[in-house]
Structure 1
Amino acid sequence: MYPDLPVGVFRCDGNGRIVEANGSLADLLGERSPARLLQRAGHLVRDLIVDREDRRHFLKGLRESGGPRDFDCRMYRRDGSTVRVTISARVMRNSSGGIEGTLGTVADITGRVETGLALERAEADFRSLFENAVDGIYRTSGEGRLMAANRALAKICGYDSPDELLDAMNDPVSGSGRAPYVDPARRSEFHAIMNRDGIVSDFISEIRQRDGESVWIRENARAVRGRDGHLLHYEGHVEDITVRRRLEESRQLRAQAAVSGISDALLICDNSGSAIFVNRAFETMLGHDQTSLARMGGVWRLSTQPNIASRIYGTLKRRELWTGEVELSCADGGSLPVEMRVSPIHDEAGEAIGAVLICTDITTRRQAERQLVDLARTDPLTGLGNRLLFNERLDTAVEQTAGWSTSLAVLCLDLDRFKEINDTLGHAIGDDLLVAVAHRLRECCGETDLLARLGGDEFAIVQVEVGQPEAARRLARRIVEALGESFRIGDHWLDIGASIGIALSNEMSASKSELLRHADIALYRAKSGGGNRFCVFEQTMHRELMERKKLEQDLRDAIAENGLSVHYQPQLGMHDGAIGSVEALVRWNHPERGMIPPSEFIPLAEESDLICDIGAFVLQQASIDIASRTDLRVAVNISPAQMRHDDLVQRVSRMLEKVGLPPARLELEITEGILLHDTESTLEMLHRFKALGIRIAMDDFGSGYSSLSYIRRFPFDKIKIDGSFTAGLGSDPGADAIIGAVTTLGHKLGIETIAEGVETLEQLHRLEELGCDAAQGYLIARPMPAHDLHATLGSDFSGLLLGANGAVGGRAPNAERRQARRRVETSA
């Protein structure tokens, strides 16, 4: 039965029983075949229609109208579920008019019903949203007539209900469907955008409410078109942003007030460089306001540096911050260094639309940086250039003179005797002396000369535009003469000098390193010559310097390998003619050069800091050599460098105990210069030596900074008169007077006196007459190794003295004196 129809088909007999059905109906009701359906559902109405009311209405339709049309109801499926269908049926009658049966169709309308329900729900939801939305919603006709509006829009416009708003807006006299824009031009602008794009987004405008108050709104709208493209209507969304707008304006005012009050200069500009805003600090700093900037042609005209604008623009396009130091033009015609920080301003699409510039005045910082640069190149004590500045200027001078006939001179200068003054009088006096030296050096130098202090007592000069070598010599001569004059520092008159080495640039020595090396070599030659002189470098000097360096290394090796020895020079007692003590003197027998005089290697040791090692060696070796001679005392020199060691007393005490030499048989000789430096510390150390029983002698009295107060304050057992006074006996009345005065003073204070440098009988006898207690010199004996002491000590020296053989105050017989002298010469 109609197997190809997509809808179900059935035929019932006169009693309503289904006698025939097609496959589509069987499928619709969940049966595998029409036969299965006929077996399950015998009666169409009673067995298949679900609702009782639907059954009644269906049967009524059959009786009254010959069959219902499009009768919607639910029918049972085989699994008990239901399906919504529409039934169209027609009663079939026989020739006598009786009901013969019913023929009809059944169609599934489940989807159509659900769609209708969904539409109903959507309509209800839309209406709910429309009526209860916080923001305003409207619909207008193509001609602009307001067709619909919700409560929110009515409230925004100042009306109590949408109907009131519709009536007011569509009033043919006052409304005409037009939105009440405060600025009528905004309405025209709105329609222009809509006609062009078919949509308007985030349209900000101000509208007038019913009572005349104004509010700010943000509006979004679109044109709604039919399938054929013709305009149906417009619909839109309106948001009241009045509160937000007022807050934003308030925020902007506060920000502007804050920005106007900050100390940094702030400027806001658009992409063209036109100033939109400048704060008071900007106007004060540069003298420019928005008007003057506009006359200049924009913000970027402020910079005095080329291409700065393009560099900043490139950074902003990359959405990066730009920071840098620039020079900006001031309104008064000057310029100002600033640190500029530029931040891009972007629109909502991320495109740069302007920039914020914050400028900080860095004038003070620049000045501080320049001061730091100057300080880094300035000696803080003297105000002269330092080593850094000297090297920079020398590099420049070497480059400028390269390949030109103009010469360049480098003068390296050391102060003579400065170390002694600094060690004895203290660093404060030394510093004041350096300042005074710097002042005199400035007066000697020319305007183009660079004078620098390299450190300590080292100075250097770069002399440019030296046409002839004689110009450098003239400068050096002026310096030697100027520094050769005495300096008054505090209560002291100080005499120093200057040793100067000069190097001239030429084809042989044009580099900086060569000039410095050659000047240093020439300086060494000047110092070796006794100081207070200058010397110009010659090639032969290099060899001499290398020899000195080798000698220094040989001395180091000698100290390390026990290559030094100690000799002893006897000291003759004037009262008994006996040798009661000896002075320990260091000797160096070089493996290649033989005996090297102490006058040659001791200064070298002092310059190279080897003197402490030598002093410690002499002290220990002398103590060992003399320990076995119970009748002999040994005198050992202590250098200023050794005295600067705080543990010197402990070292000497431990050494004496180790070698077995009684402290009373050790005599330490110190120079006068030691007493001038850190007097209290020196005095305390000497008293500690005295407490051990060690004797203290003042060496070379009268050769340096002699002061009678030292003799009174310090615990001396002996005063050693310098050999220069001994040499003047008989020829210089002053020498006799000084030695006599010292001897008399010593006796009154209980201090022994000894004169050194005695080489003639006349000197010895005069010392005896002046009351000197002891004598030392070549007349008595030369320095000798320890193993030769026994023979010398056994000699009789009494014949040398005036008071020998009981002839006190007179002369010994000539024969006896000659014999004694021969014994002395033999022992020497």
Structure 2
Amino acid sequence: MSDETASILVVDDDPLIRLLAREILEQDGFVVVEATHGEEALQQFAATGADLVLLDVLMPGLDGFAACERLRQTPSGLHLPIVMMTGLEDEASIRRAYDAGATDFIAKPIHWPVLAYRLRYILRASAAVRELAWRAEFQRVLIDTLPIPLSVEDARGECLACNPAFEALVSLTCVTHSGPARPLVASAELPPPPNPLDARGQRVYETSMRGTGGNPREVIVHQAVFVPPGTGEPGLISAILDITERKRHEERLRLADTVFQTAADAIVVTDAQGVIKSVNPAFTTLTGYSPAEAIGETPRLLKSERHDDQFYTDLWRTLTETGQWTGEIWQRHKNGPTFPTWESIEAVRDADGRILEYVAFFSDISQRKLAEQEIFFRANFDPLTGLPNRSLLHERVDQSIKQARRMGRRMGLLFLDLDRFKQVNDTLGHVVGDALLCQVAERLQECVRETDTVARYSGDEFVLVLPEVAHARDACAVAEKVIERIAEPFALNGATVRIGVSIGVALYPGHGQDQAALLRHADLAMYQAKAAGRNTYRQYETLMTDQVVKQMSLETDLRLALLNQELAVHYQPILDLESGALAGAEALIRWPHPQRGMVPPSEFIPLAEDTGLIREIGAWVLERVCQTLGEWDRIGLRVPISVNLSSHQILRGLTVEAVEDLLRRYSLRSELLAFELTESVLLSNTIQAQQWLEAIRRLGIRVDIDDFGTGYSSLAYLKRFPVNRIKIDRAFVRDMVSNPNDRALVEAMLAMAHSLDLDVVAEGIEDEEQLTLLRRLGCEYAQGFYFSPAVPDADFVRIAANLGAIGQ
């Protein structure tokens, strides 16, 4: 639209005014539209619009003031030039016109020659105002939609304007110059600029500021000076670029690069086709290939030939389908050796899911595999012999049972215990004992097939597993072969050692349906082999289990007997053969069971030793003997009582201090108490036993060697240990009258004892002939049924009285 063709809406109820306005304005090139009153004007404007409205004030109906206000309320009338014609020239009318939204006013009567010029000027001025308004709105929208925070402040640092991006950055609402000014948040919270404005009045710097919620933000600030119109004072425009995320991203990149460069794992990056783009230093360390040698190649560079084509096919299929693969893979070093690695491969995809790169991480797991092998070996094999241990044995037995069940066959299990191994270990030392176990393991492996298993069960116990046994005699044949092989001498550190082996044989399915039953029954059979004299084998029989049940029942009863004071101490007289006087007594334990009757000591004493109850029983017997000695002393009976001690008591419980306490509590003279020890006690731990015996002898307690001649009789230990006398076992006394050999042995023992200045007690005297012979040979003391069996306390007192021993 040009000024000449502008459309003018003339609104006046006076036809003459409308006519004159039309003629004047059309002559000047304007398009004129007429309306007679305010309502018509609104309708006409809504229908055709207008570039300018020439509006009379005083009209019937809707007057000019109201019409002007209504026009301004329409979207098209917001910036419409409205010129009001009025004959009212008072100040109030003029103010009302402007308040209603009038652009200008013309006083009536109208000076028609200048009307067109005045309207044309108003049109041009309005167009300029609209242009400015459009530009201002454009700039506002532009600034508001810019993602960069912008703020404008005056010379005093007060905020004149800011955009929503700035408000979001600082989490505050800014005000413009039309509202009350307040300090600019950015200026208040930004540190002082590090550099002054340059010659152009600009500067750029990087700093930190508090953002939304007080969170620190990293920003780049662009500032420029400007002079607001009408002030002459320079202000400052600030454009703030929030680079927090960029800095974080850069930090992540730096961290990623640091990890890439310093990672212990080798890292390889390839493109989508598998061509290597980058490798880290660890890759070079592990493979020997430098980045220059690896980049541009494919991972086939490291192919070890340890995997077949199917392995790589599966790898790539998994990687394609899932985007990742993890597993063990062997690589080849640049110099040739191969090594195992644990590798993880990840596909890197773009937003559309297309694969861009592959990233692979791998580490050398050679040491880990060695450690795993070591752990597996330690968990499943005996470290000394290298044989399967108990854990692996159970697996092998289970496997053999399953195989035999599936095939409908037998399998055999042999439980072995070495005979006399403890003697070798104690006398020659643990080093020799370990060497012996290793040689035994080698010989056992020579006695079986490759499909059989030889396992070390514990200590000197071994187990053989024979998966396929056609007949029971086949397992027994293996047992015989083992016994024969183990019986051969062992050469150990210059010494020749001979041992034996006791073997228990159990067969699936006849002797058990699972490994626990087979092992238990083979173990029972092995103990039967030991009971049969050792160095032999026994096949499991159901009766063996019955015997074990009987033993368990006996053990339970023995514990109850100890608890309920059912045990008793009997005393067997010891006589002086020269004078016939009572020389002492041996305390012997008896067990009158409420249901079983009198239980022989040969049944419950070994059981007590096996279960450890012998220590409690021995302590009780010693306490009871000391109590009896005190009672005898009060009636004038003062003869020593001999108490049998086991190795369990001497080495694991009965201290010298405990013996002193007993003597003190019962006010006993030490010479009234004697201890009887077997030869095996002296040999079990010579240093400890010697120290204990020497301390006992210093108390004045006599020490006797019981069952002399049945063990490892030696002049050496008789000379070394502080022994007072020996007791010849009844086995030699029983037949010495009729058997020259037994008589010779008795004579030799007496001669040896007398040469060492030791007294001798002969056990088991049953008749006059034995007594006469012993007197003639010079034996000092004797005991046996010929004189009296072991009797209760009261009966012994009567015997002592008959022999005149009371009151002496």
The TM-score normalised by the length of structure 1 is 0.64
Deviations 1:528-559 (A, max 9, x none): 33333211123343333333332333333333
- Tell whether 2:645 aligns with 1:634: no
Deviations 1:86-138 (A, max 9, x none): 456785479xx9x9xx99999999998366245168579999x99x99xxxxx
Report the Cα distance in structure 2 between the residues aligned to 1:510 and 1:735, rounded to whole angstroms.
Answer: 53
Match of 2:755 in 1: 745
Match of 1:756 in 2: 763
- Give the Å deviation of 1:589: 3.0
1:324-403 to 2 correspondence within 5 Å?
324-326=327-329, 337-347=340-350, 352-403=355-406
- 1:375–1:541 distance in 2 versus 1, CA, 3 Å: same
Deviations 1:381-422 (A, max 9, x none): 333221111111111111111143542111112234555766
Partner secondary structure for residue 628 of structure 1: helix
Match of 1:269 in 2: 270
* Root-mean-square deviation (Å): 5.0
Match of 2:790 among 783, 792, 803: 783
Report the Cα distance in structure 1 between the residues aligned to 2:382 and 2:308, rounded to whole angstroms.
Answer: 43
Match of 1:802 in 2: none
- 1:336–1:255 distance in 2 versus 1, CA, 3 Å: same
Report the Cα distance in structure 2 between the residues aligned to 1:11 and 1:450, rounded to whole angstroms.
Answer: 125
Match of 2:608 in 1: 605
Partners of 2:566 and 2:591 within 8 A in 1: yes
Provide the aligned length of Structure 1 versus Structure 2: 629
Partner secondary structure for residue 38 of structure 2: coil
Report the Cα distance in structure 2 between the residues aligned to 1:560 and 1:650, rounded to whole angstroms.
Answer: 25
1:219-238 to 2 correspondence within 5 Å?
none
- Tell whether 2:682 aligns with 1:675: yes
- Tell whether 2:572 aligns with 1:561: no
Match of 2:417 in 1: 414
Match of 1:648 among 641, 650, 655: 655
Deviations 1:362-398 (A, max 9, x none): 2332233123212211122333221111111111111
- Give the Å deviation of 1:640: 1.2
Partner secondary structure for residue 396 of structure 1: helix
- Tell whether 2:522 aligns with 1:503: no
Match of 2:91 in 1: 47
Match of 2:692 among 676, 679, 685: 685
Match of 1:85 in 2: 103
Report the Cα distance in structure 2 between the residues aligned to 1:708 and 1:410, rounded to whole angstroms.
Answer: 44
Match of 2:673 in 1: 666
- Tell whether 2:63 aligns with 1:23: yes
Partners of 1:746 and 1:753 within 8 A in 2: no
Match of 1:3 in 2: 38
- Give the Å deviation of 1:795: 4.9
Match of 2:542 among 531, 539, 544: 539
Higher mean C-alpha displacement, 634-643 vs 333-342: 333-342
Match of 1:812 in 2: none
Partner secondary structure for residue 311 of structure 2: coil
Deviations 1:147-191 (A, max 9, x none): xxxxxxxxxxxxxxxxxxxxxxxxxxxxxxxxxxxxxxxxxxxxx
1:135-174 to 2 correspondence within 5 Å?
none
Deviations 1:163-221 (A, max 9, x none): xxxxxxxxxxxxxxxxxxxxxxxxxxxxxxxxxxxxxxxxxxxxxxxxxxxxxxxxxxx
Match of 2:706 in 1: 699
Q: Which residue identity lines up with residue 455 of structure 1 in the other structure?
A: S
Partners of 1:579 and 1:793 within 8 A in 2: yes
Report the Cα distance in structure 2 between the residues aligned to 1:647 and 1:509, rounded to whole angstroms.
Answer: 43
- Give the Å deviation of 1:635: 0.9
Partner secondary structure for residue 667 of structure 1: strand
Partner secondary structure for residue 704 of structure 1: coil
Partners of 1:267 and 1:358 within 8 A in 2: yes
Match of 1:461 among 437, 461, 464: 464
Match of 1:614 in 2: 617
- Give the Å deviation of 1:772: 3.6
Partners of 1:637 and 1:668 within 8 A in 2: yes
- 1:537–1:744 distance in 2 versus 1, CA, 3 Å: same
Report the Cα distance in structure 2 between the residues aligned to 1:697 and 1:744, rounded to whole angstroms.
Answer: 14
Q: Which residue identity lines up with residue 695 of structure 1 in the other structure?
A: R
- 1:544–1:674 distance in 2 versus 1, CA, 3 Å: closer
Match of 1:452 in 2: 455
Q: Which residue identity lines up with residue 63 of structure 2 in the other structure?
A: G
- 1:549–1:10 distance in 2 versus 1, CA, 3 Å: closer
- 1:328–1:768 distance in 2 versus 1, CA, 3 Å: same
Report the Cα distance in structure 1 between the residues aligned to 2:540 and 2:547, rounded to whole angstroms.
Answer: 12
User: Which ranges in structure 1 are unaligned for 5 or more consecutive residues?
Assistant: 13-17, 31-40, 50-74, 134-243, 799-828
Higher mean C-alpha displacement, 479-488 vs 575-584: 479-488
- 1:693–1:569 distance in 2 versus 1, CA, 3 Å: same
- 1:116–1:754 distance in 2 versus 1, CA, 3 Å: same
Q: Which residue identity lines up with residue 756 of structure 1 in the other structure?
A: E
Report the Cα distance in structure 2 between the residues aligned to 1:366 and 1:386, rounded to whole angstroms.
Answer: 21
Report the Cα distance in structure 1 between the residues aligned to 2:437 and 2:295, rounded to whole angstroms.
Answer: 56
Report the Cα distance in structure 1 between the residues aligned to 2:720 and 2:625, rounded to whole angstroms.
Answer: 29
Partners of 1:518 and 1:537 within 8 A in 2: yes
Identity %: 32
Q: Which residue identity lines up with residue 698 of structure 1 in the other structure?
A: I
- 1:281–1:88 distance in 2 versus 1, CA, 3 Å: farther
Report the Cα distance in structure 2 between the residues aligned to 1:723 and 1:703, rounded to whole angstroms.
Answer: 10
The TM-score normalised by the length of structure 2 is 0.65
Q: Which residue identity lines up with residue 385 of structure 2 in the other structure?
A: T
Partner secondary structure for residue 781 of structure 1: coil
1:426-505 to 2 correspondence within 5 Å?
431=434, 433-484=436-487, 496-505=499-508
Deviations 1:549-582 (A, max 9, x none): 3233333333333332222222222443222211
- Give the Å deviation of 1:634: 0.9
Higher mean C-alpha displacement, 354-363 vs 689-698: 689-698
Q: Which residue identity lines up with residue 545 of structure 1 in the other structure?
A: V
- 1:564–1:295 distance in 2 versus 1, CA, 3 Å: closer
- 1:703–1:713 distance in 2 versus 1, CA, 3 Å: same
- Tell whether 2:95 aligns with 1:76: yes
- Tell whether 2:726 aligns with 1:719: yes
Partners of 2:511 and 2:540 within 8 A in 1: no
Partners of 2:490 and 2:496 within 8 A in 1: yes
Deviations 1:257-303 (A, max 9, x none): 975x9764432233444544455457549999854657999x99977
- 1:792–1:296 distance in 2 versus 1, CA, 3 Å: closer
Match of 1:116 among 110, 132, 150: 132
Report the Cα distance in structure 1 between the residues aligned to 2:562 and 2:346, rounded to whole angstroms.
Answer: 72
